């Protein structure tokens, strides 16, 4: 159950009842400044304080805790921003999502599909512009046409052409026509929508959606009840390429689960306050694998919730686990100020930083960029950056540590980020 | 004495058609279908005109053109370049490299015959 909008709901309810922050805070026995942080979703809230606030506002605690999450709010907001010809009542967005979560999810899904189709179109456009096959095929077709045109012209306009030569030219004409047909057919096949290389757009069955459905914790792989190949075969993928990708994804999960067995890891993680560097040292494994492990723990209330984002040296997203309060772009790059991208300028240097979103949420992040093993001589290093993030940082860090960490002001993407004076801005804020 | 034309082109049927057309114009035709080693071929044949395809196996027509223009022996050899790449930047690159006439495929027979005569006359 998400609690990301609890603060917003408390603030709205308090204002409706015309109660000041000071009065409400005094009534439930907390400071006004702490209530302010709760109302801006900067502090988590549960247990006794939640019950007291619900009682003071004459609400059932479930009214505060159930409903939409901030990730969904952000996605629907982004959908609205990308379709500006239809005016939407953004000021009532949270109310809409709270009342009609199913329709909100539908908008989110349609928006995701729209983005996937945009990606598909972009891929096709790239194919036409840069595809070596297409360039070669067009060259071949023009050569075929040149032969046909020139030969047909000779046959039609030349008098007294020796029979043997005429016969040879007719044969050339036939052969070249067949080659032209074949080239045209090859081009059609290349751009056929059912081309398996384009089917990645169908996202109903992917390793990522399977992990998402299982809350990013795969018991069957944790307990070695099934092999990555068997699991990949069981989730209904479209073709062999997708199967291969799924096997690789599940093998990666299996490697992580073997290096850091979950029951032992959870005990040590609690002792070491989920510090990834200390955990990596304890289990004698690398930091990226430890970051992955922290993002793939059982979905239990007492455990901090971690999201993860992995990208390659170009910034393209390789893997993501979102949090309800932080939706991550999949097809476009995110805010360049994220520690994830910063880590790429300092490979092998772990970075720990807090970052603030324009909407008020604060996240703790651990990032590192590493190089993949060298496959051959004289090839440039393949960089991969990983960023683990959580909003539950107060559960795992002391106040002094929090105060000593760098605080970064970041956004989601320029188009939906209101930080107008940001020097890293690369496109305008389309909601403004 | 008949003037000689060398065609460097990797499409055999285009070579056959051009050979037929230009022999009827009283020219002596030779052909070669690879980019590699063609300078030796030019050196042996010593043509009065070169018809050169831009996209050839191994060595491109542009590289051959540059070598011709940089050579002491053939720097003045008239070159008619054929290409399926008709973009402005390709034409400009060929002109910068010293092509005499640049023709895009597909072309009309009369057009290439006319251009061949133009270059041989000069």
Place of tokens 């058609």: B17
Q: Do B13 and A138 touch (CB under 8 A)?
A: no
**A137 CB near a chain B CB, below 8 Å?**
no
pLDDT of residue A43: 74
What's CA A358's distance to the chain center, in Å?
Answer: 19
- Percentage of residues in chain A with pLDDT exceeding 70? 87
The torsion angle over the Cα atoms of residues A187, A191, A194 and A196, rounded to 10 degrees, is: 90
Tokens of A158: 């030349």
- Percentage of residues in chain B with pLDDT exceeding 70? 98
Of B55, B58, B122, B57, the closest CA to residue B94 belongs to B55
Q: How far apart are the CA of B70 and the nearest CA of chain A, in angstroms?
A: 28
pLDDT of residue A375: 67
pLDDT in tens, B38-63: 899 999 999 999 999 988 877 888 88
Angle at A177 between CA A174 and CA A181, to 5 degrees: 140
- B29 against B10, higher pLDDT: B29
**A174 CB near a chain B CB, below 8 Å?**
no
As a whole number of angstroms, the distance between CA A405 and CA A400 comes to 9
Tokens of A250: 């599940």
- Residues belonging to chain B with any Cβ–Cβ distance to chain A shorter than 8 Å: 11, 13-14, 16-18, 20-21, 24, 55, 84-85, 105-109
Q: Which residues of A are less than 8 Å from B107 in CB distance? A: 146, 149-150
User: Which of B17, B84, B85 faces A154 most closely, judged by CB atoms?
Assistant: B17
Could you give phi then psi for residue B53, rounded to 5 degrees? -80, 145
Could you give phi then psi for residue B39, rounded to 5 degrees? -65, -35
- Percentage of residues in chain A with pLDDT exceeding 90? 39
pLDDT of residue A194: 52
pLDDT in tens, A315-331: 888 888 988 777 777 76
Name the most confidently modeled range: A20-34, A41-55, A193-207, A417-431. Answer: A20-34
Place of tokens 């015959």: B113
* CATH 1.10.260.40 assigned to A1-66: yes
Average pLDDT on A34-55 reads 81
As a whole number of angstroms, the distance between CA B66 and CA A344 comes to 42
pLDDT of residue B23: 96
Q: How far apart are the CA of A176 and the nearest CA of chain B, in angstroms?
A: 8
Residue A201 has pLDDT above 70, yes or no: no
CA distances from A344 to A238, A310, A333, A367, A385 (A): 34, 11, 14, 9, 6
Mean of pLDDT over chain B? 91
pLDDT in tens, A222-279: 999 999 999 998 887 767 878 888 999 999 999 999 999 999 999 999 999 999 999 9
Tokens of A39: 């109302």
- Residue ranges of domains in chain B, CATH in brackets: 4-121 (3.40.50.2300)
User: Which of B13, B24, B85 faces A147 most closely, judged by CB atoms?
Assistant: B13
Residue B122 pLDDT class (50, 70, 90 cuts): confident
Q: How far apart are the CA of A292 and the nearest CA of chain B, in angstroms?
A: 48
A354, β-bridge pairs: A364, A407
Q: Are A393 and A309 within 8 A, CB to CB?
A: no
Residue A45 pLDDT class (50, 70, 90 cuts): confident
Q: Do B84 and A138 touch (CB under 8 A)?
A: yes
Residue by residue, DSSP assigns A314-329 as T--EEEEE-BTTB---
pLDDT in tens, B84-102: 876 777 788 889 889 999 9
Count of beta carbons in the 10 Å neighbourhood of residue A405: 15
pLDDT of residue A430: 57
pLDDT in tens, A302-311: 999 999 999 9
Average pLDDT on A155-161 reads 90
Q: Are A184 and A178 within 8 A, CB to CB?
A: no
Tokens of A221: 């792989």
Q: Which residues of A are less than 8 Å from B108 in CB distance? A: 149, 153
Stretch (H or E) spanning B83 = strand B79-83
* DSSP assignment letter at B99: -
Q: Are A333 and A339 within 8 A, CB to CB?
A: no
Tokens of A129: 């512009």
Domain boundaries, given as residue ranges, for chain A: 1-66, 131-198, 202-259, 260-432
pLDDT of residue A1: 35
């Amino acid at each position: 159950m998400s609690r990301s909008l609890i603060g917003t709901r408390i603030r709205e309810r308090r204002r409706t009842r015309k109660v000041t922050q000071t009065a409400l805070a005094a009534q439930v026995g907390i400071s006004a400044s702490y209530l302010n942080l709760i109302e801006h979703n900067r502090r988590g809230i549960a247990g006794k304080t939640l019950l007291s606030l619900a009682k003071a506002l004459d609400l059932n605690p479930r009214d505060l805790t159930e409903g939409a999450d901030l990730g969904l709010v952000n996605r629907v907001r982004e959908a609205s921003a990308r379709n500006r010809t239809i005016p939407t009542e953004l000021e009532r967005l949270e109310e809409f999502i709270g009342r009609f979560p199913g329709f909100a999810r539908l908008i989110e899904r349609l928006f995701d599909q729209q983005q996937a189709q945009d990606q598909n179109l972009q891929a096709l456009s790239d194919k036409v512009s840069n595809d070596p096959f297409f360039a070669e095929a067009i060259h071949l077709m023009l050569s075929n046409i040149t032969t046909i045109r020139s030969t047909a012209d000779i046959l039609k306009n030349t008098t007294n052409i020796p029979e043997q030569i005429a016969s040879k030219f007719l044969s050339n004409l036939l052969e070249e026509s067949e080659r032209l047909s074949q080239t045209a057919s090859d081009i059609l096949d290349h751009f056929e929508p059912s081309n398996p290389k384009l089917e990645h757009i169908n996202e109903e069955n992917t390793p990522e959606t399977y992990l998402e459905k299982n809350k990013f914790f795969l018991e069957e792989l944790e307990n070695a009840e099934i092999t990555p190949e068997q699991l990949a075969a069981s989730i209904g993928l479209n073709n062999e390429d997708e199967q291969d990708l799924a096997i690789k994804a599940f093998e990666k999960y299996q490697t992580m689960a073997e290096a850091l067995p979950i029951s032992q890891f959870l005990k040590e993680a609690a002792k070491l306050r989920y510090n990834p560097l200390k955990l990596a040292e304890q289990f004698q494994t690398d930091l990226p694998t430890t970051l992955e492990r922290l993002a793939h723990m059982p979905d239990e209330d007492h455990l901090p919730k971690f999201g993860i984002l992995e990208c390659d040296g170009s910034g393209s997203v390789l893997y993501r686990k979102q949090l309800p309060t932080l939706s991550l772009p999949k097809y476009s790059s995110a805010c360049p100020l994220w520690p994830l991208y910063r880590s790429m300028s300092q490979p092998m240097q772990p970075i720990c930083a807090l970052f603030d979103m324009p909407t008020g949420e604060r996240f703790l992040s651990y990032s590192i960029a590493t190089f993949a093993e060298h496959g051959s001589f004289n090839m440039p290093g393949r960089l991969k950056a990983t960023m683990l993030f959580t909003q539950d940082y107060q559960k795992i860090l002391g106040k002094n540590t929090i105060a000593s960490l760098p605080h970064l002001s970041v956004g989601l993407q320029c188009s939906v980020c209101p930080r107008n004076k940001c020097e890293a801005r690369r496109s305008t804020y389309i909601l403004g | 004495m008949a003037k000689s034309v060398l065609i460097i082109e990797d499409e055999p049927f285009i070579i056959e058609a051009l050979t037929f057309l230009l022999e009827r114009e009283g020219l002596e035709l030779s052909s070669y279908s690879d980019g590699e080693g063609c300078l030796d071929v030019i050196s042996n044949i010593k043509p009065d005109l070169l018809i050169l395809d831009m996209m050839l196996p191994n060595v491109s027509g542009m590289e051959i053109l540059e070598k011709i223009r940089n050579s002491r022996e053939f720097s003045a050899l008239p070159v008619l370049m054929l290409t399926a790449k008709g973009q402005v930047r390709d034409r400009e690159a060929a002109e910068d490299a010293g092509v005499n006439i640049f023709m895009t495929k597909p072309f009309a027979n009369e057009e290439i015959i006319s251009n061949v005569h133009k270059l041989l006359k000069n």
